Chains A and B, each alone.
Chain A
Amino acid sequence: MAVFRRIANLFRRSRIDREIEAELQSHIALLIDDNLARGMSAAEARRDALVRFGNPTATRERVTAADTMLSLDALAHDLRFALRQLRRSPGFTIAAVSALALGIGANTAIFSVVNAVLLKPLTYPNADRIVEFVLPSSIANNLANIPEFHAYQRQTSVFQEVAAYDRISPGFNLTGERPELIQGIHVTESYFRLFGAPVVLGRTFTPQEDAPYGGKVVVLSYHLWQRRFGGNPDVIGKSLSLGNEPYTIVGIIGPQFVSDPEAEFWLPYQFPPVSDDMNHYFLVAGLLKPGVTLEQANAQLKLASVQYRRDFPRSNPHQIFRVAFLRDAIVSDTRSSLLVLLGTCGLVLLIACANVANLLLVRATGRQREFAIRSALGAGRGRIVRQLLTESILLSIAGGISGLVIGFAGVRALLVISPAGLPRVGENGSALTMDWRVLGFTLAISLLTGVLFGLIPALSASRSDVNSMLKESSGRSGTGFRQGKARSFLVVSEVSLALVLLIGSGLLIRTLIALHSVSPGFDSHHVLALDMSLTGDRFHKTEAVAELSKKGRDRLNAIPGVEISSAAYWLPIQVDDGMPFEIFGRPAGKNVLASRWISISPGYLGVFKIPVLRGRDFNENDTASAPGVALINQAMVKRFWPNEDPMGQQILLGRGTGPSLQGEPTRRIIGIVGDTHSNGLSNPADAMVFVPVAQVTNGYTAAYTDTAPLLWVLRTRGDPHQVIAAATEQLRIASGGFPVAHIRTMEEAMGTSTARQSFNMVLFTIFGVVALILAAIGIYGLMAYSVAQRTQEMGIRMALGADRDTIRKLVVWQGMRLALVGVVAGIAASFGLTRLLSTFLFGVKPWDPAVFVSAPLILTAIALVAVWLPAARASKVDPMQALRSE
């Protein structure tokens, strides 16, 4: 390839020079030889040869020029020249590079996160076919019961596998030499096939083992196997003691399998083949058959729901089975927030590019005379365009590289401030790596910016008529009109985009403030929560749990510094369980209502300071043998007794939901309590029923202790952390040796409830500030350049009698006019765009007046500063100097 040879020649210059020299010398030698042969004397032959050859140095140079391509030399020259030019105006260079770096850096960081969470598929092998069964009923959050599971299983025309698994790990007490509380879940035997869990040793459950009386067997995770058994391969067939009961180990799952919910081992559910247990307590996933679409599966499930209602007439008549992709379910609300972030990033990048374009435009204008002179001296139009392009590409490469550095740092920073719940970023964000796509994306953007925005000024600079340009710029009185319009447009759009971002972050800040001021309905200060696993047959009876609750509370209450304590299955911020109920004395039929419900022991309301508005709290006399009692919250009163007094009325919970609630007593409403935001702060309080732990059915107790830990909560006088050791010890004694885990203060538990909002707020604030800085750079750059260009004009104005104040006002007004047009445009755009944010807002309207007034004011103030500096410089122009300067 000729081009490559030429490029190679560039680097082998000296060798080639020597070779050319040798070639020319050999020519002369041959000439001399012939002269000698013709009979000349040696001296004469040599002289004649040299004369005939001409100037060897000139020839050598011409040959060398032929060897190396001119344009390559020119490129090197362009580069050198561009570097020199950029060095000569460091202000411009720094402004342009940092604008690009900020825009590209923010984009790279966000793109990396979006990439990991949204674009990369779930790590399961068949992730694109795994679906989750969704129940649009208000009773329980997507939880299924055994009859529903069996109905799902029968849909073999659309599902290859259907598997049930626990919603959360109840925690298990691993007994033996080193007791600890570990996490494991119940699954059906199909679970491992569905999620493609790799078996490294042994096998998973057989269908026989997953049937009633299938024996106690367990599959271990790789980590548990390594930790407890040192990775010993003889472990298969050995037993693992969980809650003092031996389980036979049948297999080990590979380390790359990530189970959701987190689990270190798996136990078989052993569902009965026929059941009428209507209790919803587990999740179900399905693997679509290859080629089956989501729509086909849902159509089939609709038919299945009809059949199911025929088989179980007491089931919810409005319930229709449906599936959704598991990936979508996992990223559901993260998706929209990340897409908004991505859009925001786009805006920031747009501002950055506009900034650079503007700076390049301004600069090209300032250099018009230089180009005119060069063009007059014979530089071709192509050459000038190439020169400008070289400069702008150099700028964008520098911006791209610094942007990447900022991006790397930004990804790390994002992880630090990201909410703990951001899915799929891996352990410590290990899944969040800068990949080649991110790199390509960034570099492409920066190069495109350079070429695109380098081209516009380059073309317009080279197109102009040399003559008029020389004249115009020699006057130095002003700059071309058309370019001035383009620049003004860019500044105006920068300002308006920045304002959109600023208003967006203002709204999110207001949201966070509003959330913090929401009263959750309980007091979260000085409250400690501890989990205790009660898995195993011993706690399948309500009596045992009630006894443990009493013993534990007595011991906790005796700890100095503890005001009051309680045991329950849920914290007030997250009550997921719902239950249908009937009100006595109401006509049957429409009487099946649903509310959330929670069982608590005496003291719970005291721990959380949930007020008892009427009637009384539970006490130690509300035992299993006493009459059934219930407390309800105000939301429940409003919803179900809008015009009646519920006090003393009787309700029956969970009729027809299956064997686990058989024997549920009729309950008398003995009190009304304040509302708590049981489902996140940004959601309204749900209707809720409270029942005493001591008065629930054995079936309820067994279902809970098998699937969720018992929760101990206590109110302390001082810092809750100070009683952790004593509480742990007393609970160990009370339970006969059970450990506690997941110890957290209520404030820590609450933090995750507002974590997403604070994350959004922080990101938007960063973007807002970046946009503000960029807009300021843009206005400042434009005005500073314009002032520099108009030094002479200022001089003349002053010489004609304008005082410094007038000059300053003139410049300030010119800059501020652009800023104000941008502000007006930005406010208009924000009215349209903030509606997209409305799902993230709470307690604030998308057109919140406070934000729509303060953000433009802040931006205007910053713009004023950016304009003031060049204006001050303009007013300090010495008229004599300015007039002489040309």
Chain B
Amino acid sequence: MAKNDLQGTLDLLVLKTLADNGALHGYGIVLHIQNASGEVLRVEEGSLYPALHRMEQNGWIAAEWAMTETNRRAKYYKLTAAGRRQLDIAQESFDQLVRGVRAVLRYA
């Protein structure tokens, strides 16, 4: 059974975002997901930050304080090698979930 909870999906979104954009701060991640999903997905900050910290503890992403273009200090996250592997796993897992859900919907 694939790991298909919603937290896993959030992880996937964040990992994919960081894989495509290099280093981003939390706000940047929220904006990117919002834009990339055509305003369909809106990530809650209350979920995002715990997820970011958990992924950091797991060693999937690394964080670093830096200045933004607007000259504010912000914590930037970027993908690690372990995170890249995790992205593959999460992607596969998500694909499986989608296939499963599709199959059920078709059957019904």
Residues of chain A at the chain B interface (Cβ within 8 Å):
2, 5-6, 9, 20, 22-24, 26-27, 29-31, 33, 52-55, 58-59, 62-63, 65-67, 69
B50 beta carbon closer than 8 Å to chain A? yes
C-alpha spacing A62/B45, complex, angstroms: 11
Q: In the complex, are the beta carbons of A31 and B27 less than 8 A apart?
A: yes
Closest 8 CB pairs of A and B: A66-B54, A66-B50, A30-B27, A66-B53, A62-B50, A59-B46, A26-B74, A63-B49
Chain B 35-70 interface 0/1 with A at a Cβ cutoff of 8 Å (1 = within): 000000000111001111110011100000000101
C-alpha spacing A613/B52, complex, angstroms: 105
- Say whether, besides A26-B25, A29-B72, A58 and B49 are in contact (CB < 8 Å): no
Q: Which of B49-108 contact A (CB under 8 A)?
A: 49-54, 57-59, 68, 70, 72-75
Contact of A27 among B45, B50, B57, B58 (CB under 8 A): B45
Q: In the complex, are the beta carbons of B53 and A30 less than 8 A apart?
A: no
- Say whether, besides A24-B49, A63-B49, A30 and B68 are in contact (CB < 8 Å): yes
Q: Which residues of A contact B8 (CB under 8 A)?
A: none
Q: In the complex, are the beta carbons of A30 and B57 less than 8 A apart?
A: no
Q: Which residues of B contact A65 (CB under 8 A)?
A: 50
C-alpha spacing A33/B73, complex, angstroms: 13
**Which residue from chain A places its CB closest to the CB of B73 in the assembled complex?**
A26
Q: In the complex, are the beta carbons of B57 and A6 less than 8 A apart?
A: yes
Task: Tell me the minimal C-beta distance from B54 to chain A in angstroms.
Answer: 4
C-alpha spacing A816/B51, complex, angstroms: 63
C-alpha spacing A52/B42, complex, angstroms: 11
Task: Tell me the minimal C-beta distance from B33 to chain A in angstroms.
Answer: 14
Contact of B46 among A20, A31, A54 (CB under 8 A): A54
Q: Which residues of A contact B53 (CB under 8 A)?
A: 20, 63, 66-67
Contact of A54 among B45, B50, B52, B73 (CB under 8 A): B45
Q: Which residues of B contact A2 (CB under 8 A)?
A: 57-59
Q: In the complex, are the beta carbons of B57 and A62 less than 8 A apart?
A: no
Q: Which residues of A contact B70 (CB under 8 A)?
A: 30, 33
Q: In the complex, are the beta carbons of A58 and B57 less than 8 A apart?
A: no
Q: Which residues of B contact A69 (CB under 8 A)?
A: 57
C-alpha spacing A62/B10, complex, angstroms: 16
Contact of B49 among A5, A30, A31, A62 (CB under 8 A): A62
Q: In the complex, are the beta carbons of A30 and B45 less than 8 A apart?
A: no
Task: Tell me the minimal C-beta distance from B28 to chain A in angstroms.
Answer: 8
Q: In the complex, are the beta carbons of A67 and B57 less than 8 A apart?
A: yes
Q: In the complex, are the beta carbons of A62 and B73 less than 8 A apart?
A: no
B52, B58, B75: most-surrounded residue (chain A CB, <10 A): B75
**Which residue from chain B places its CB closest to the CB of A31 in the assembled complex?**
B27
Task: Tell me the minimal C-beta distance from A798 to chain B in angstroms.
Answer: 59
Q: In the complex, are the beta carbons of A58 and B46 less than 8 A apart?
A: yes
C-alpha spacing A818/B45, complex, angstroms: 66
C-alpha spacing A575/B46, complex, angstroms: 95
Q: Which residues of A contact B74 (CB under 8 A)?
A: 23, 26-27, 30
Task: Tell me the minimal C-beta distance from A13 to chain B in angstroms.
Answer: 14
Q: In the complex, are the beta carbons of B45 and A59 less than 8 A apart?
A: yes
- Say whether, besides A62-B50, A63-B50, A66-B54, A26 and B45 are in contact (CB < 8 Å): no
C-alpha spacing A6/B58, complex, angstroms: 10
Q: Which residues of B contact A29 (CB under 8 A)?
A: 72
Q: In the complex, are the beta carbons of A53 and B45 less than 8 A apart?
A: yes
**Which residue from chain A places its CB closest to the CB of B71 in the assembled complex?**
A33
Q: Which residues of B contact A26 (CB under 8 A)?
A: 25, 27, 72-75
Task: Tell me the minimal C-beta distance from A241 to chain B in angstroms.
Answer: 81
C-alpha spacing A63/B45, complex, angstroms: 10
A2, A6, A31, A66: most-surrounded residue (chain B CB, <10 A): A66
B51, B53, B59: most-surrounded residue (chain A CB, <10 A): B53
Q: In the complex, are the beta carbons of A23 and B72 less than 8 A apart?
A: no
Q: In the complex, are the beta carbons of B25 and A30 less than 8 A apart?
A: yes
**Which residue from chain A places its CB closest to the CB of B58 in the assembled complex?**
A2
Q: In the complex, are the beta carbons of A23 and B75 less than 8 A apart?
A: yes
C-alpha spacing A63/B53, complex, angstroms: 6
Q: What would be 8 A-B contacts, judged by CB atoms less than 8 Å apart? A: A23-B75, A26-B75, A27-B27, A30-B70, A31-B27, A52-B45, A59-B45, A67-B54
C-alpha spacing A53/B47, complex, angstroms: 11
C-alpha spacing A517/B54, complex, angstroms: 81
Q: In the complex, are the beta carbons of B72 and A59 less than 8 A apart?
A: no
C-alpha spacing A506/B5, complex, angstroms: 71
Q: Which residues of A contact B44 (CB under 8 A)?
A: 54
Q: In the complex, are the beta carbons of A22 and B57 less than 8 A apart?
A: no
Q: Which residues of A contact B46 (CB under 8 A)?
A: 54-55, 58-59, 62
Task: Tell me the minimal C-beta distance from B2 to chain A in angstroms.
Answer: 23
C-alpha spacing A9/B1, complex, angstroms: 33
**Which residue from chain A places its CB closest to the CB of B54 in the assembled complex?**
A66
Task: Tell me the minimal C-beta distance from B78 to chain A in angstroms.
Answer: 15
Task: Tell me the minimal C-beta distance from B99 to chain A in angstroms.
Answer: 30
Q: Which of B4-34 contact A (CB under 8 A)?
A: 25-27
- Say whether, besides A58-B46, A63-B50, A23 and B59 are in contact (CB < 8 Å): no
Q: Which residues of B contact A30 (CB under 8 A)?
A: 25, 27, 68, 70, 72, 74
Q: In the complex, are the beta carbons of B26 and A27 less than 8 A apart?
A: yes
C-alpha spacing A69/B73, complex, angstroms: 28
B57, B59, B68: most-surrounded residue (chain A CB, <10 A): B57
Q: Which residues of A contact B72 (CB under 8 A)?
A: 26, 29-30, 33
Q: Which residues of B contact A63 (CB under 8 A)?
A: 49-50, 52-53
Task: Tell me the minimal C-beta distance from B102 to chain A in angstroms.
Answer: 32
Q: In the complex, are the beta carbons of A23 and B26 less than 8 A apart?
A: yes
C-alpha spacing A29/B73, complex, angstroms: 10
Task: Tell me the minimal C-beta distance from B24 to chain A in angstroms.
Answer: 11
Task: Tell me the minimal C-beta distance from A94 to chain B in angstroms.
Answer: 42
C-alpha spacing A24/B75, complex, angstroms: 9
Q: Which residues of A contact B73 (CB under 8 A)?
A: 22, 26
Task: Tell me the minimal C-beta distance from B60 to chain A in angstroms.
Answer: 10
- Say whether, besides A23-B75, A27-B45, A30-B74, A66 and B57 are in contact (CB < 8 Å): yes
B50, B52, B68, B74: most-surrounded residue (chain A CB, <10 A): B50
Task: Tell me the minimal C-beta distance from A70 to chain B in angstroms.
Answer: 11
Contact of A5 among B25, B57, B68 (CB under 8 A): B57
Q: Which residues of B contact A58 (CB under 8 A)?
A: 46
Q: Which residues of B contact A31 (CB under 8 A)?
A: 27
C-alpha spacing A628/B65, complex, angstroms: 111
**Known A26-B74, A63-B52; 15 more pairs at CB < 8 Å:** A2-B59, A20-B49, A22-B73, A23-B75, A26-B72, A27-B45, A31-B27, A33-B72, A54-B45, A58-B46, A59-B49, A59-B50, A63-B49, A66-B50, A69-B57
